[in-house]
C-alpha cells in the first residue's frame, strides 16, 4: 500500500466556503483587469525626458558662470600645472 503526504481532512463547511471564494475569484480578476485597462487607456503620456549632461555641457555651464571661472583660475595658480603635462 502506497502512502502519500499526510493530509488532514477538511470540514465540509470549510470546503464549501473555500469553493465559494474560489468561484468568485475569476470575476474579481476580470474586473481588476478591466479597471487596469481603463487606467492605462486614460493615463497621460509622459513628457520629454531630460537627457544627461555630457562633459562638454558641464564645461560650457562652468565657463558661463563668473564665480566658477574665478575658482578655476585661483585653483590653477595655487596647484600649478598638472604633472602629466610637464615634459
Q: Which residues contact 77 (CB under 8 A, 6 or more apart)?
A: none
pLDDT at 83: 73
Q: Within a domain: residue 75?
A: yes
**pLDDT tens per residue across all 87 residues of the chain:** 567 777 777 788 888 888 888 888 888 889 999 999 998 888 777 777 777 778 888 888 878 888 888 888 888 888 887 777 666
pLDDT at 62: 78
- In whole angstroms, give the CA distance from residue 81 to residue 62: 19
The domain in which residue 65 lies consists of 58-82
Which triple of cell numbers denotes residue 38? 481603463
Q: Within a domain: residue 70?
A: yes
Q: Within a domain: residue 72?
A: yes
CB atoms within 10 A of CB 62: 13
| 46 close to 40: Cβ distance less than 8 angstroms | no
Q: Within a domain: residue 53?
A: no
pLDDT at 11: 81
Q: Within a domain: residue 16?
A: no
Q: Indicate the number of domains in the chain.
A: 1
pLDDT at 87: 63
Provide the 8-state DSSP code for 40: H
Amino acid at each position: 500500500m502506497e502512502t502519500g503526504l499526510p493530509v488532514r481532512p477538511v470540514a465540509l463547511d470549510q470546503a464549501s466556503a473555500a469553493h465559494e471564494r474560489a468561484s468568485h475569484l475569476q470575476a474579481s480578476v476580470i474586473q481588476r483587469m478591466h479597471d487596469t485597462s481603463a487606467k492605462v487607456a486614460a493615463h497621460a503620456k509622459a513628457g520629454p525626458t531630460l537627457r544627461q549632461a555630457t562633459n562638454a555641457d558641464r564645461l560650457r555651464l562652468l565657463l558661463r558662470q563668473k564665480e566658477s571661472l574665478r575658482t578655476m583660475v585661483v585653483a590653477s595658480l595655487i596647484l600649478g600645472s598638472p604633472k602629466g603635462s610637464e615634459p
